[in-house]
Amino acid sequence: MAKTNTTEISTEPNGDLDRRSFLRKSLAAGGAVAAASAGATQALAEVNPANLPPNKPIWSQMLGPGVTQSPYGSPSPHEAHVVRRNVGWLTSSTQSSINFTPLQDLHGIITPNGLHFERHHGGVPAINPNEHRLIIHGMVKYPLMFTMEELMRFPSESHIHFIECPANGGMEWKGAQMESVQFTHGMVSCCEWTGVKVSTLLDEVGVDPKGTWVLAEGADGGAMDRSIPMEKMMDDAMICWAQNGERLRPEQGYPIRLLVPGFEGNMNIKWIRRLKVGTAPWMTREETSKYTDLMDDGTARQFTFVQETNSCITYPSAGQQMSHKGFHEITGLAWSGRGKIKQVDVSVDGGRNWRTAKLQEPVMSKCLTRFRIPWQWNGEKAQLQSRAIDETGYVQPTLAQLRKVRGVNSIYHKNSIYTWEIDTNGGIKNVQLG
């Protein structure tokens, strides 16, 4: 095995490597780093037991448990650290709180159901689906009440969409710096949702042409409710009963939730029990006192429904430790409530220079998009940033650009560019750059 010194590779400071040139060099870099650790990468003339590393890897296992012991499977005990996490100081009760998705430990675009972020306003109701009903009433010709069995008879569709709380990143408007991407961006998750289009149900009840707004209300303790424009309801809104193949999880609205793709997470009403058609928004608590954007001049923006273009680097990211100099694949997620992601740029020098990342196909509308870009870390200080652009041409703003327009009073819709700063020891911190 040809040995190449890592420092010889990085002729360009924190520079690029195309994929072909990466390969052989990565081998050398990998070998150099691993030689210092217990289980070293080894060049083996022949594979035989004498060449096994001293810590005796589990090389062949006796018969383990079989198929009947876990009819519904669970992750490996070695992945017990990959869980949703709460921030203790953030809310006064766990019943009205948030559990963040561990984005730093996830791969691809699908969020497994057990790790989908949670945001509750009144606990998780334990609903017997046989007793649940959905009522559609108000300005409709035939007010109707549906059982689950009746709802699930309708023609259905499946779509992969993200859901994001508009407070994602909200703790940082005024300068707080959360320690990991789980807490800066972990209020976004992405699943395949199956259900009936709301337009199908509204056609069924016969909407009065004067009806322009729909109130959606949940069956949780707080009766979470939001007003949604009829136009959105007739476009791509759905009443969903399944996520990632199986029925909704309790904390995601079992047995049914509203899905309004690209709109604020809280509008995707969970445990939905009622849709009411009217001519104006209902000015509920969740669209007056909450979920409005307080501006610098004391006025508040209301009905800012769409989750604008956003992105985050998930590896390397704040709270992680760089294991070695040399090749790293920078990867992350981008999304837009207005459609498809068109481009993601990545900077390793705090936004001075940008390169365009590769987007993993399929790139879908209002869906997480995984991006990846190769990088050679030379061991010096680096500032990693990602900047997403969606198909409408909207470019994710810097924090300074966002604050210029919106001030620092809001706790919602903070979709600005983040910076992960890598120090010379490989430590990674969340820092705020203008």
Site residues (CB under 8 A) for its own copies, limited to 1-60: 1-2, 19, 22-24, 26-27, 30, 34, 37, 39, 41-47, 51-53, 55-60
Q: Are strands 238-243 and 225-229 parallel, antiparallel or unpaired?
A: unpaired
Q: Which two tokens stand for residue 431?
A: 């820092």
Closest by CA to 294, choosing from 401, 166, 178, is: 166
| Amino acid, res. 55 | N
With contacts defined by CB under 8 A, how many residues of the chain interact with its own copies?
Answer: 138
Query: Closest distance between its own copies and the C-beta of residue 54, in Å?
Result: 11
Q: Report whether the peptide linkage leading into residue 281 is cis, meaning its omega lies within 30 degrees of zero.
A: no
The smaller minimum CB distance to its own copies, of residues 28 and 267, is found at 28
> Which of 277, 302, 164 is closest to 217 using CA atoms?
277
Residue 114 makes contact with its own copies by CB under 8 A: yes
Residue 264 in contact with its own copies, rule: CB under 8 A: no
Site for its own copies in 171-190 (CB under 8 A): none
Of these, 4, 15, 82, 379, which contacts its own copies (CB under 8 A)? 82
For its own copies, the closer CB: 364 or 433: 364
Element (H, E) at 328: strand 326-335
- Using CB under 8 A as the binding rule, the residues of this chain from 282 to 301 that contact its own copies are none
Asked if 234 touches its own copies (CB under 8 A), the answer is no
Among 36, 126, 280, 405, binds its own copies (CB under 8 A): 126
DSSP string for 288-299: TTSS-EE-TTS-
Nearer to its own copies, 248 or 399 (CB): 248
* Cα atoms found within 13 Å of the Cα of residue 361, Cβ hemisphere only: 0
Q: Give me the least distance between CB of 173 and its own copies, in Å please.
A: 22
8 A C-beta contact, residue 394 and residue 336:
yes
Least distance in Å: CB of 304 to its own copies? 25
Shortest separation between residue 347's beta carbon and its own copies, angstroms? 19
Of 6-14, 155-163, 385-393, 407-415, which part binds its own copies (CB under 8 A)?
A: 155-163
CB of 206 to its own copies, least distance (A): 9
If one asks whether residue 130 binds its own copies (CB under 8 A), the answer comes out as yes
* Tokens linked to 293: 């954007």
Q: Per CB under 8 A, does 98 bind its own copies?
A: yes
Shortest distance, CB of residue 374 to its own copies, whole angstroms? 6
Nearest in space to 221 (alpha carbons), one of 92, 94, 120: 120
Alpha carbon distances (Å) from 119 to 159, 291, 308, 347: 22, 13, 19, 32
Q: Are strands 272-278 and 133-138 parallel, antiparallel or unpaired?
A: parallel
